[in-house]
Amino acid sequence: MIKSKIIHPELLGILAKCGHKTQILIADANYSFVTNSSDSTEIIYLNFAKDMLPATAVLSGIVELINVESTAMMAWPQDFDNTIQSEYLNILEDGVEMNLLERADFYSAVKSDDTLLVVATGETRRFANLLLTVGPVIS
């Protein structure tokens, strides 16, 4: 039995394939996983029910296994209180850049050949999609 926080075999295998600059999308329950990702992107469905698994739990597990160089979220309306952004920032290491991309730019980034993995979560909060860029291992 693996002792890491994450024990999902497919997720571990795909994370092991990631190199520097590879992208991983942690997608909320509203994201259209199939139509807004590349044909070569692997999708892991962890969206068993609403709010199972939350995106923050997925991020917490992933950051124990890879370095995150930067992140991106889809920009949200000015009058929207995006509470999950601060939760993500608390999970990520200090200094990890978080960019806000307009909708079309966000979809283009996710659809790029650099995105190896989409993790479909049950996160029901709006604008909770988080695109990670894998950082190098520095020893």
**CATH number of domain containing 74:** 3.40.1650.10
Average pLDDT, the chain: 96
Q: Taking residues 85-101, what's their average pLDDT?
A: 97
Residue 21 in any domain: the answer is yes
Residue 108 in any domain: the answer is yes
pLDDT of residue 3: 86
User: What confidence tens digit (pLDDT) does each residue in 12-39 have?
Assistant: 999 999 999 999 999 999 999 999 999 9
Q: How many domains does the chain have?
A: 1
DSSP 66: S
User: What confidence tens digit (pLDDT) does each residue in 97-125 have?
Assistant: 999 999 999 999 999 999 999 999 999 99
Residue 139 in any domain: the answer is no
Residue 2 in any domain: the answer is no
What's the predicted TM-score (pTM) here? 0.96
Which positions ≥6 away from 52 have C-beta within 8 Å? 122
Residue 88 near residue 60 (C-beta atoms within 8 A):
no
Which positions ≥6 away from 94 have C-beta within 8 Å? none
Q: Name the residue range of residue 117's domain.
A: 9-134
pLDDT grade, residue 139 (50/70/90)? confident
pLDDT grade, residue 4 (50/70/90)? confident
pLDDT of residue 138: 82
User: Percentage of the chain surpassing pLDDT 70?
Assistant: 100
Residue 3 in any domain: the answer is no
